Structure 1
Amino acid sequence: MFEKISQLLLVKTVGCYVNIMSFIAPEKSFALAYKLFSEPRKGRLKKVLLPKTLLDADFKTHIYEDHEFQTYTWTPDKTQQSENKGNDEIILLIHGWESNASRWKKLLKHLKKTKKTIIAIDGPAHGLTSGKEFNVPQYAKYINLIVQEYNPSIAIGHSIGGNALAYYQAHYKHNINKMVLLGAPSDFEIILKNYVRLLSLNSRVHQSLIAFTKKKFNITVSEFSAAKFLENSTINGIVAHDQDDKVVLFEEGKKISNAWKTSQFIETKGLGHSLHDAYLYQTIVDFIEK
């Protein structure tokens, strides 16, 4: 309890500092607000301490502009090299905020039964991927590079990774025909409002973040929505969301599913945001193999 109170006080103190600076040195204040919003505090990995799940994969470092990003490939036959791309169909895994490719440990046990090649990405500023800033458009660029190289037909995203997949399929050419979103948020506007509320930021800072989003990504906050990205999609999909999700509102999952006409909605209870569940994972496998 004491630790939670201390963390809350620290967060509010930082927010107070940003608010004060918005009047004294506004540019510095706005830059700090965005840095705090976009820089993960967890989810990094070290090559010398990789989780056992990832040691079982063939891993490769890809270069994009001035960044390196990491992928991990599991083929149905370990004698095959990842360059051979394994089975005819490939499954792409996209993790969420402050996580990395090892979060798929429990799902991997089920996916390997399909005998398909599986590729997982470490997102920007996560795992072994370089950088300090995480954002969905950058994540989508990494997804696109892997899709162009390996041509996966199935994609699974958790949390903001699901949002990145929705953004990707709306902005890039691809051959993905099945997609699964697990505990994914829909509207960036809500994510931003939650951040502003958490730090108790004033309207000056809030409006600066809205303007910065428009300038940096050429999209308004209201348009930055997984539901809108998927409303014209013909990809077959699953949207799974738990009633007890404390990170992303249950209504966000419903909003995505309602907009995405070729998806089915799976409602769970008691799984929280992680959605780790053998029955759910078997349902996903059945959907993949259908």
Structure 2
Amino acid sequence: MRRVVPWLSGHYPDYMSRWALRQFTTPPKPQETATQRQWRAKAEVIPLWHEQSRWLNTPQRGGQLLRWGQGERKILLVHGWGGWATQFAAWLPPLLASGCQVLALDMPGHGEAPKRQVTLFDFMAALRLVERLIGPVDAASGHSLGASALTLTAAEGWSAGRLVMLAAAENIETAPRQFARMVALPDNIRLNMQEAMAQRHGVSWQELDGRLIAHNARYPALVIHDRQDKEIPYEQGVQLAARWPGAQLVTTEGLGHRRILQDKGVMQQAIDFMLLD
């Protein structure tokens, strides 16, 4: 592929721009474990239906919300690209034992939500819809693209108390740049792909730049990032924490991009932070 893509891009740029957009925005199939499926079976499932909004030009199914417990303190858990709600299964027992109401999203096109092409903008629209359905949450934790969506939605005034960012990007162009490197996509095709995404939602990439996170000073934040993260480099987490007023940075070693979500030490630090008064 790395040999063919540059040649095709040079000869058929329009086709390759559409191909890149389709590949970049199509989530992989979830791989739930038996334990995760058991937790899904215990959840109350709330379908999400997006109304037309700033991020979506037409109404559409917007994923689904899973809920466990009925406590007054609401904790929201947000997976990343290619993830699913029950990836946070190990987090549920301690949170429920503390009396929390725990909510986790199957983002649009992910988990058991209807399959379709999805972008960061769909993640943000889903968070807005959760706010309209259940009101403010006391704390939220997001992984990877889910953390980026939390960061950007919070900058617009989303109602949350504390935020935990796991393996989060400071620059939202990190993901498309990494995808382009992986498949040897020329830069002009990558830019065409990004522009098509932005036009679909009527926004610009510049207006969503992670460097605008100074707006998030009102949210206490914990940024957890691994030095060996090959998908979103550690430096992104360092920059995110540095630009977020008052944010705390926790550095891990040897967990990479995905195992950080399942590490017991990381989980405990995140939960302790979210449960602070």
Alignment of 1:92-111 (within 5 A): 92-111=76-95
- In the alignment, which residue of structure 2 is the partner of 1:232? 215
Count residues with an aligned counterpart: 262
- In the alignment, which residue of structure 2 is the partner of 1:71? 65
User: What's the % identity of the aligned pairs?
Assistant: 21
- In the alignment, which residue of structure 2 is the partner of 1:115? 99
- In the alignment, which residue of structure 2 is the partner of 1:56? 42
Q: 2:144 aligns with which of 144, 151, 159?
A: 159
Displacement of 1:262 = 2.5
Partner amino acid, structure 1, of 2:46: K
Displacement of 1:88 = 1.7
Indicate whether 1:261 and 2:245 are aligned. Answer: yes
Q: Distance in 2 between matches of 1:270 and 1:44?
A: 23
Which consecutive residues of structure 1, in runs of 5 or more, have no partner in the other structure?
1-9, 76-85
Indicate whether 1:170 and 2:155 are aligned. Answer: yes
CA distance 1:109–1:265, change in 2 (3 Å): same
Q: 1:189–1:224: 8 Å Cα contact kept in structure 2? A: no
- In the alignment, which residue of structure 1 is the partner of 2:19? 32
Q: Distance in 1 between matches of 2:239 and 2:251?
A: 13
SS in structure 2 of the partner of residue 188 of structure 1: coil
Which consecutive residues of structure 2, in runs of 5 or more, have no partner in the other structure?
51-58
Q: 1:94–1:162: 8 Å Cα contact kept in structure 2? A: yes
Structure with greater contact order relative to length (CA < 8 Å, sep ≥ 6): 2
TM-score (structure 1 length as normaliser): 0.82
- In the alignment, which residue of structure 2 is the partner of 1:5? none
Max radius of gyration: which structure? 1
Q: Distance in 1 between matches of 2:174 and 2:248?
A: 23
CA distance 1:20–1:110, change in 2 (3 Å): farther
- In the alignment, which residue of structure 2 is the partner of 1:3? none
Q: Distance in 2 between matches of 1:147 and 1:96?
A: 19
Partner amino acid, structure 1, of 2:108: P
RMSD of aligned alpha carbons: 2.2
Q: Distance in 2 between matches of 1:60 and 1:214?
A: 28
Indicate whether 1:243 and 2:237 are aligned. Answer: no
CA distance 1:203–1:265, change in 2 (3 Å): closer
- In the alignment, which residue of structure 1 is the partner of 2:11? 20
